[in-house]
Structure 1
Amino acid sequence: MVSGEYHDGRSTRIRRVQVMLEGDQLSWRGDDVQGAAQLVQVNVSARMIGVPFTLRLPNGAQLQIAHDDMPGDWLRGRHRIETLVDWLERKRWVALASVLVIGLSLFGWLEYGMPWMADRIAARMPQRMDVAMGQQALTLMRGRMLLPSHLPAERQAHLRELFDRFSRNVTGLPAVHLAIYDSPSIGANAFALPDGTVVFTDTLLKALPDDASFIAVSAHELGHLAYHHQMREVMRNVGLTVMISMAFGDVTSLSGISAAVPTFLLNNHYSRAFEADADDFAFQALARQGIDPIAFADAMHALERAHPGAADGREVRYMSNHPLDAERIAKAEAASRQFRKL
């Protein structure tokens, strides 16, 4: 027998009653009220810690019994999931473990899950979307950061011929073309846009020592295109924004992502893994066309010589976006030794 409250469902009056269970029959008796019902006809609320049980009776009335007063054997076999949850809520170690699991799951999703999904989406993105984003980015930069080149027309024509000849024999590429601009704000730099445009600045071209080093840098940028690094990086960057917008129901902010894509492209800094993939692609592409991969290291060293230690406090933009380190140089030298053995 337990104490409870009886609500008739027609008034706000509360009656104190004693509730009993005899066999399969539930009965109650108290202030001017009594009754009985088969337990199977009683709809019992789920167990929630700190919340009274509500027993809804067939006639529309209700019995309420304090959470801790309800005998466990009265509801045996009913609300098994809620009973398990109630038991788990009472265990401090379970709560701490839940926080840890949620934290690890969130870290795993951001570190591995979202990049994996972003890569799959980027790989299946229609080519027309790549073209539209690349052209939009180029339009945004042209006239602001990208100005008409001051290189002689003969030099530009020669470089385009070299680039076209080399890229035609590289498999796995979209339609690509070379664009040359002067850019005092960007400095020595080269980058590839999703539509297949490979941009070189005058400053970078003047720093490169020969045609082979130009082709080596071109091969690296073509590697970014072949592996869809631009769109993969963009999707990884906007993925968290999409998740937050959807979580808070702010769907209107999602429309601004497409407009922000060129900004991601302009300020892109590839991960070390993406840079390594593009390097390997370049070394193999160079070797297949009879060009010693040491030309890649020559290009990086030439940039260092042209800008020794960034004496004026300004770093070389290309080496900022494509960091030069001993490991990458060592890989280029190893690829060169392998090439010379062939």
Structure 2
Amino acid sequence: MYNYSVRYHDGRLSIAHDATLTLMPDHWLIHYRDPSGELTSVRWTLPGIVTDENFSNLFIFRYGDFPQQTIECKEESLPATLKKRYPEKVFFKRRITNIFKLNNATIVGVALAVLMLMGLGYWFGLPWLAGAVASRFPVSTEVEMGDTMYDNMIQAYDVDDQLTAATNDFVKSIDFKTHYPIRITVVKEKEVNAFALPGGRIVVFDGILRKMKTKEELAALLAHEVSHVHYRHSLRNIFRSLGGYLFLSVLVNDINGIVTVLADNSNMLANLTYSRELESEADQKAMAVFQADGLDLQGFVDLFTTLKNEHEDVANLKLLSTHPLTGDRLRAAEEMAKRQKAVREDVALERKWERIEEDLE
């Protein structure tokens, strides 16, 4: 009644032995013949026996320190016998395969619950986790990541060296209140656009420069993009977009793996959009920079007016837009500009803007 046919592995040799398992009151006895034909017995005490989780009717038990001994049994009556023989010890927990024995309605309910949890994790858990990891990410690694993305994607653009030099000189006259090394690249593109990469790289299309009329407009654009860098918005977006792989890479400190993923997806990652919350946060930080430097907040009003005119057809789709409406941002900038008191005229910055205008001609 308490004897079962099993396959026994002693943990030392790769071969398995046909054996007999005898369930004694406080231990198990395993009888088998070794390669020389000699009958051998092995004793397993109950506390040291561990059951393997599996998804079949093959029952597997392990015993001892590494390399562990193992027995395998296919007899379906074994679980019931173990429960009766040793009522104080639990050998088998409820297995996930038991789910498939449930009725269809229950299975559908379980599936919907799992999908709901996955959805909640994506929409709420992943953004929080992305922000938490981004906030603890080494700045030096972030700069390296941004440089890798930049090197891979800039090859698709025609860089304007003169405008790039002039704009970087322009940047030196503004204190953006950030510890990141800000490096601007101007490319020849008609699109009215600019974007920031992790670590301080900012790409500006000359199409947006040609729409500008004042130095304050350019300063507003750059202050906004620098704020995305400063608050690590680009990094957070990247972790959310490539969350699973990058989080695992961070956990195992696989920086090369991160760099490889970024290199393969640089163009896609550069086009990620920011949420309304992140855009608003960047606007507020940028306007605070203006107030601290005494720059005229009318620059934001002019910039947002330009953007609104360029993207009027998109800006009106409030429910479909992933950005704050340009109209909403414009009204916020107008209110801030009305309340601004101290504005200074920066002659040096004006001269640098005039140089950019000359290069645009």
The TM tier, using the shorter chain, reads 0.5 to 0.7
Equivalent residue, structure 2, for 1:77: 88
Equivalent residue, structure 2, for 1:180: 186
Match for residue 225 of structure 1 among 201, 226, 229 = 229
Distance 1:225 1:53, change over 3 A: closer
**What secondary structure sits across from 2:210 in the alignment?**
helix
Equivalent residue, structure 2, for 1:329: 330
Equivalent residue, structure 1, for 2:196: 192
Structure 1 or 2, whichever has the larger Rg, is 1
Match for residue 280 of structure 2 among 273, 276, 281 = 276
Cα deviation for residue 73 of structure 1 reads: 6.0
More displaced 10-residue stretch of structure 1: 142-151 or 260-269 = 142-151
Equivalent residue, structure 1, for 2:171: 163
Aligned pair 1:125/2:129, yes or no? Answer: no
Q: Deviations over 1:168-207 (max 9, x none)?
A: 2x323312233333224xx222222334233322221110
Distance 1:322 1:203, change over 3 A: farther
Counterpart code for 1:123: S
Counterpart code for 1:196: G
Equivalent residue, structure 2, for 1:235: 239
Aligned equivalents of 1:325 and 1:8: distance in 2? 73
Aligned equivalents of 1:303 and 1:208: distance in 2? 10
Distance 1:65 1:214, change over 3 A: closer
- TM-score normalised by the chain length of structure 2: 0.60
Distance 1:69 1:160, change over 3 A: closer
Distance 1:260 1:49, change over 3 A: closer
Q: Deviations over 1:132-156 (max 9, x none)?
A: 33333333344531332676x9xx7
Match for residue 120 of structure 2 among 108, 121, 135 = 108
Distance 1:47 1:198, change over 3 A: closer
Aligned equivalents of 1:265 and 1:6: distance in 2? 60
**What secondary structure sits across from 1:108 in the alignment?**
helix
Counterpart contact for 1:133–1:261, Cα < 8 Å:
no
Equivalent residue, structure 2, for 1:339: 340
Q: Deviations over 1:11-52 (max 9, x none)?
A: 99xxxxxxxxxx99xxxxxxxxxxxxxxx98x9989999959
Distance 1:75 1:341, change over 3 A: farther
Cα deviation for residue 108 of structure 1 reads: 3.3
Aligned equivalents of 1:126 and 1:8: distance in 2? 54
Equivalent residue, structure 1, for 2:266: 262
Q: How many residues are treated as equivalent by the alignment? A: 298
Counterpart contact for 2:185–2:204, Cα < 8 Å:
yes
Aligned equivalents of 1:54 and 1:210: distance in 2? 76
Cα deviation for residue 299 of structure 1 reads: 0.8
**What secondary structure sits across from 1:207 in the alignment?**
coil
Counterpart contact for 2:216–2:298, Cα < 8 Å:
no
Aligned equivalents of 1:194 and 1:68: distance in 2? 57
Aligned equivalents of 1:48 and 1:142: distance in 2? 51
Cα deviation for residue 129 of structure 1 reads: 2.6
Structure 2 gaps of 5+ residues are 9-16, 19-24, 27-44, 62-70, 250-255, 315-320, 344-361
Match for residue 148 of structure 2 among 133, 136, 145 = 136
Distance 1:322 1:50, change over 3 A: closer
Cα deviation for residue 325 of structure 1 reads: 3.1
Cα deviation for residue 272 of structure 1 reads: 2.3
Match for residue 214 of structure 1 among 210, 215, 218 = 218
Counterpart code for 2:172: D
Aligned equivalents of 1:237 and 1:329: distance in 2? 29
Aligned equivalents of 1:94 and 1:279: distance in 2? 49
Aligned equivalents of 1:150 and 1:256: distance in 2? 32
Aligned equivalents of 1:129 and 1:255: distance in 2? 10
Counterpart code for 1:268: L
Counterpart contact for 1:191–1:199, Cα < 8 Å:
yes
Superposition RMSD in Å: 5.2
Distance 1:173 1:102, change over 3 A: same
